[in-house]
Amino acid sequence: MRELVRERRIILENRSREGYDPRSIDDYIASGGYSALKSALERGPRWVVNEVSRSRLRGRGGAGFHTGFKWESVAMQRGRKKVLIANFDEGEEGTFKDRTIVESDPFKLIEGMTIAAYAMGIDKAFIYNRGEYPFFPPLFESLFEQARDKGLLGKGILGRDFDLEIEVVKGAGAYVCGESSAILRSIEGYAGQAQIKETRTAVSGLFSLPTCVNNVETLSNIPYIVLEGGENFASIGTRQSTGTRIVSLSGDVMRPGAYEVEMGKCTLGEIVEDLGGGVSGKKIGSALIGGASGSLVPPHKLDMNYSMEDAEKRGLTLGSGVIVIFNESRCPVDLAYNLSGFFAHESCGKCTPCRTGTHHIMRVLSNLRGGKGDEKELKKALDIASVMDRASICGLGKTASTPFRSLMMNFEEVVDLHVRGECPRHVCPMGGGDR
């Protein structure tokens, strides 16, 4: 009999600590907070960058870029003003991990940002705040004031020749602003649209300055890495997926929530059963892995180890850490249609493949769920999805067709029944459509 999966809390270590007030810097310091910053200032910026590289920490926003490489690229831009951006846009459907971090231990993010800025020689940082999170900017301002009063933010941090100011920028609710080039445009005061990158952001980003964009969860790992060392962090998880990951688990489960698990040490199914309490009511019918830009998969694929490399072997992505479970009463075609509508609405319209492709796929799925789909139409939509993947400017367009493609790959029998005018779940409005 296997052992039950338990959380391994690194970022969320203070989440359930009795009497702990996450909005109090005194409570954070009493729990060991800002020890990492003091250590970083004593050891120097080069040491910090090296430890982050040794940790093999990969970005937690979805793409999984190596954080150490990003930092190294920005740090080497000497003699220039540089910028750090914490991506707190979190617009991915089903994602609430970053919100959980900021609600549970926001000073961990601020300390991580401060260490990152020191390591890369940065004196100005931004938190790009999701438009649908209007209650966080006032909280951040209160936290910044407490940090300044303690000499942990502002001029001459802890008596050193190191200054840092952090500014909160409010997004306007556009999903595309989770993409780095769109974030830059938004902060600069323009409409949030993806841009073709002629040079790397590390060389020319915000206001043409060298810029590092990191996810909230990524930055919140930094205090642990500095205190315990990069090799210690790398010993957690697997070689390619080090550390822990905060999973946003929701849908038809008994205990939805954010759970921090060690990478590669449990399967998706074990996360659902042991941490989520299993499915409420009926059996699992399907799951959405990685968020709206992720894949719809059948239940048997939940036996996959929760790591980036195992996901890649199966043609999947962990994305931003989303797992949404649907019981057998939910129709995969209907789910894919709703996801396609999300992308059609959120496309910034900058490039033709994404702008027209998202609407075409939504129309094809509308016809399919209405009993008016046909095989030629579906094949053409797959061809268009392939063009979107190759020709779209940013990650939104490249992944917008993933739910549709995964539906066609993993639920072939369900799709065939819909083509014949039958929804096996009795959910889809047969007789409708957009033809």
Look up residue 246 and give its amino acid: I
User: In the numeric block, which tokens belong to residue 312?
Assistant: 């890649």
CB 104 within 8 A of CB 15: yes
* 431 pLDDT higher than 60: no
Q: Percent of the chain scored above 90 by pLDDT? A: 71
Residue type, 135: F
- Find the mean pLDDT for residues 352-375: 90
**Percent of the chain residues topping a pLDDT of 70:** 95
Instruction: Tell me the per-residue pLDDT of 171-213, one tens digit each, with 9 for 90 and over.
Output: 876 666 556 777 888 888 877 666 666 678 888 889 999 999 9
Please determine, for residue 434, whether its predicted confidence score (pLDDT) is greater than 60.
Answer: no
Which residues, in sequence order, are CB contacts of 40 under 8 Å at separation 6+?
Answer: 47, 48, 115, 118, 119, 226
How far is Cα of residue 363 from the mean position of the Cα atoms in its chain? 28
Over range 365-386, report the average pLDDT. Answer: 91
Element (H, E) at 67: helix 67-75
What pLDDT score was predicted for residue 106? Answer: 98
Task: Give the best-scoring range by mean pLDDT among 47-51, 129-133, 292-296, 346-350.
Answer: 47-51
DSSP SS3 for 204: coil
Q: What are phi and psi of 58, to 5 degrees?
A: -110, 150
What average pLDDT score do residues 142-169 get? 97
Please state the pTM of the whole predicted model: 0.92
pLDDT of residue 432 exceeding 60, the answer is no
Residue 382: name the closest of 357, 359, 348, 345 by CA.
Answer: 357
Query: In the predicted model, is pLDDT for residue 362 greater than 70?
Result: yes
What are the backbone dihedrals phi and psi of residue 392, each rounded to the nearest 5 degrees, phi first?
-70, 150
CA distance 370 to 64: 38
Q: What is the pLDDT of residues 322-359, one digit of tens each?
A: 999 999 999 999 999 999 998 888 777 778 888 898 99
Predicted local confidence at residue 60, as pLDDT: 87
Judge whether residue 435 has pLDDT over 50: no
Count other C-beta atoms under 10 Å from residue 83's C-beta. Answer: 23
What amino acid is encoded at 199 in this protein?
Answer: T
From residue 111, how far is each of 39, 196, 274 by CA, in Å?
12, 32, 32
Q: Residue 422: helix, strand or coil by DSSP?
A: coil
- pLDDT band with cut points at 50, 70 and 90 for residue 365: very high
pLDDT of residue 53: 97
| Domains of the chain in sequence order | 25-234 (3.40.50.11540), 244-327 (3.10.20.600), 332-419 (1.20.1440.230)
Give pLDDT tens digits for 273-295.
999 999 977 899 999 999 888 89
Spatial distance between the Cα atoms of 47 and 40, rounded to a whole number of angstroms: 8
Q: Is the pLDDT of residue 50 over 90?
A: yes
CA 246 to chain centre: 10
Candidate from 4-8, 108-112, 254-258 with smallest mean pLDDT? 4-8
d(C-alpha 93, C-alpha 150), whole Å: 38
Q: Helix 352-369 and helix 402-410: axis angle, to 10°? A: 40
Per-residue pLDDT tens digits for 255-268: 999 999 999 999 99
